[in-house]
């Protein structure tokens, strides 16, 4: 097949609804540290087959958010990191069940690598019992990285984080947080700083 025909085929296979169109699939692990590679070499969960539409892509982006903004489309199960020039990196995510999901505008209050997990009293009551603190590592539900969402100086208790259940990417399954594959959250983490604006669209609000 001529190169031009192959390019058309690849572009066509990545078409999205609306005005978003995938144009490129970046490398999945370029930003992993030696520690990341060591911890993820033999993860305590099965390798998940992520559907193609939830793999990381660079896409056209026509909304008005400024470069550096994170936008989460909960209905479509996508997180966008806005780039200059009308582009964004689109990641597949798992989102909260409707009654548990966060929506609105927040900022990244802090970030952490391989964070410990401290289950909230609500999670303990609904899903526990868990230990009061679970050390960071590949078995930890927060995965390789966590971005902690704040409104003003108040922790919302919602996070964007990795996962030890990558098979749920593309579903509304979590206790409200936004889950990414560990490779994707590492990639996002390297682009984000505290103070980054995060826009989370609620049900019915499409990007």
At 150-170, the pLDDT tens digits run: 999 999 989 999 999 999 999
How confident is the model over 51-68, as pLDDT tens digits?
999 999 999 999 999 999
Q: What share of the chain is helix, strand, coil (3-state, %, to 5)?
A: 20, 30, 50
Mean pLDDT, range 186-207, rounded to an integer: 91
| Percentage with pLDDT > 70 across the chain | 81
Q: How high is the pLDDT of residue 185?
A: 96
pTM of the predicted model, to two decimals? 0.84
3-class DSSP state of 197: strand
Q: How high is the pLDDT of residue 8?
A: 35
Structure tokens at 57: 């892509």
Domain limits of the chain? 3-201
Q: Which candidate in 19, 42, 57, 177 is catalytic?
A: 177
The reply to whether 42 belongs to the active site is no
The reply to whether 177 belongs to the active site is yes
C-alpha distance from residue 44 to each of 162, 175, 184 (Å): 14, 21, 18
Q: How high is the pLDDT of residue 128?
A: 64
Q: Which candidate in 19, 42, 57, 161 is catalytic?
A: 161
More confident residue, 128 or 40: 40
Which CATH class, in words, describes the domain spanning 3-201? mainly beta
Q: How high is the pLDDT of residue 57?
A: 92
Q: How high is the pLDDT of residue 26?
A: 59
Mean pLDDT of the chain: 84
How confident is the model over 96-142, as pLDDT tens digits?
776 456 789 999 999 999 999 887 777 777 766 777 788 899 999 99
Contacting residues for 98 by C-beta, under 8 A, at least 6 apart: 172, 203
């Amino acid at each position: 097949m001529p190169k031009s025909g192959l390019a058309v085929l690849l572009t066509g296979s990545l078409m999205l609804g609306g005005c978003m169109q995938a144009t490129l699939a970046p490398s999945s692990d370029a930003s992993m540290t030696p520690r990341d590679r060591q911890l993820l070499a033999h993860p305590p969960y099965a390798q998940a087959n992520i559907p193609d539409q939830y793999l990381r892509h660079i896409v056209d982006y026509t909304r008005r958010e400024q470069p550096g903004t994170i936008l989460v489309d909960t209905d479509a199960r996508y997180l966008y990191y806005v780039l200059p020039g009308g582009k964004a990196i689109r990641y597949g995510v798992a989102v909260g069940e409707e009654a548990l999901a966060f929506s609105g505008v927040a900022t990244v209050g802090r970030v952490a690598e391989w964070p410990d997990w401290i289950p909230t009293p609500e999670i303990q009551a609904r899903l526990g019992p868990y230990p009061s603190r679970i050390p960071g590592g590949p078995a930890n539900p927060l995965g390789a990285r966590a971005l902690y969402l704040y409104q003003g100086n108040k922790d919302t208790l919602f996070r964007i984080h990795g996962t030890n259940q990558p098979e749920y990417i593309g579903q509304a399954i979590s206790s409200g947080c936004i889950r990414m594959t560990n490779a994707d959250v590492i990639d996002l983490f390297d682009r984000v700083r505290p103070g980054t604006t995060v826009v989370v669209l609620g049900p019915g609000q499409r990007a």
